[in-house]
Amino acid sequence: MVVAVQQAHAYADVLSMAGLRREHLICPVFVSERQQDDGGDAIAAMPGVSISSLKDAVLSVQRISDAGIRSIIVFGIPKSRDGDGSAAADRNGVVQHATREIKSAFGRSLDVITDVCVCQYNLSGHCGLVRNSGTVDNDSTLQVLAEISQSHAEAGADVVAPSAMMDGQVRAIRDALDRGSYAATRILSYSAKHASSLYTPFRSAAFAKKKGAIDKAGYQVSYANPRQAMREIAGDIEEGADMVMVKPGLAYLDLVRRAKERFSVPIAVQNVSGEYAMIKAAGMRGWIDEEQWKVTSLAAMRRAGADRIISYFALDVVQYLQ
């Protein structure tokens, strides 16, 4: 979007007052093994966001790096799934392959964060292993998450980001990383990940053939219980998390502020796909000023105390930052 010079200066001033800088931004990157994604197809529910093929991943990240963003988070889309999501821990899996290529190209100039979960790799779409009873098996999932994290660290990930919301996942991952001589690999835990329909556009990209809602309220945080969110964050820090996250963003900034005031580790927030889609949809119809709301959203997250912000608007907003 072309923005008048005077307006661009105004946005830069707003973001400067909020204290937002380039190093606070984390740009999401979708990398796919599927043949249908070879052309870098756009995600229908997320206009302006594309899925990269493995062969184009470095080119996609080059654009992000050239803009001055120094952190990305990689989400993988495998070519096939099975009941246990076994491809997630494959040393030659999509995230592992992409991470090796990206780190080889950019080295220490770019922090690579990797999403650690099984939901994009199994048949159920749940964040844990689902047994015959139809329930998520928390304890069995922990070993899988640990193996995934080790494989990501081996591939060169600077940070692993467990998003499964399984009890004990941070401790299991920290222990596995330390045993595997990856003590320097940091953990960004999705500690306060709330059950929300705002993840639907993301799922439409990751689960092209998955229909219907996936109820994850049994293991994700209730939006009505702030004390639960603080307990989850405190527990993950005790288990060894280097950073913690609140997700979604805009309706949960009170929790970002609470966490910032209570805990000493960096606090991240994710400006999720549904928040992105709502702003894009309203902006495309002329109902709101899209550019203003991109800036407003990220400024509000920083103002609330977020140290790191994962946002699909990162590339749009970075142009206003010093």
Q: Which sequence positions are flagged as catalytic?
A: 193, 247
Measure the CA–CA gap between 236 and 230, rounded to whole angstroms.
10
Whether 291 has a binding-site annotation, put simply, is no
Residues 187 and 242: beta-carbon distance below 8 Å: yes
Query: What are the phi and psi torsion angles at 320 (to 5°)?
Result: -95, 0
Measure the CA–CA gap between 44 and 49, rounded to whole angstroms.
9
Whether 27 has a binding-site annotation, put simply, is no
Whether 232 has a binding-site annotation, put simply, is yes
Q: How many residues can be counted in the chain?
A: 322
Residue 64, token pair as written in the block: 């992000």
Please state, as a whole number, how many other Cβ atoms lie within 10 Å of the Cβ of residue 62: 14
Q: Is the dihedral of CA 267, 222, 84, 311 positive or negative?
A: negative
Q: Is 225 helix (H, G, I), strand (E, B) or coil?
A: coil
Q: Is 125 helix (H, G, I), strand (E, B) or coil?
A: coil
What residues contact 153, with CB distance under 8 A and at least 6 apart? Answer: 160, 177, 180, 182, 185
What is the residue-wise DSSP string for 181-224?
Answer: T-TT-EEEEEEEEB--GGGHHHHHHH-TT--S----TTTSBPTT
Residue among 273, 317, 270, 318 nearest 295 (CA): 317
Cα distance from N-terminal residue to C-terminal residue, the chain: 19
Peptide linkage before 201 cis (omega within 30 of 0): no
CA distance readout (Å), 97 to 33, 45, 76, 227, 314: 10, 27, 10, 39, 24
Provide the annotated binding site: 117, 119, 127, 232
Provide the annotated binding site for Zn(2+): 117, 119, 127
Provide the annotated binding site for Mg(2+): 232
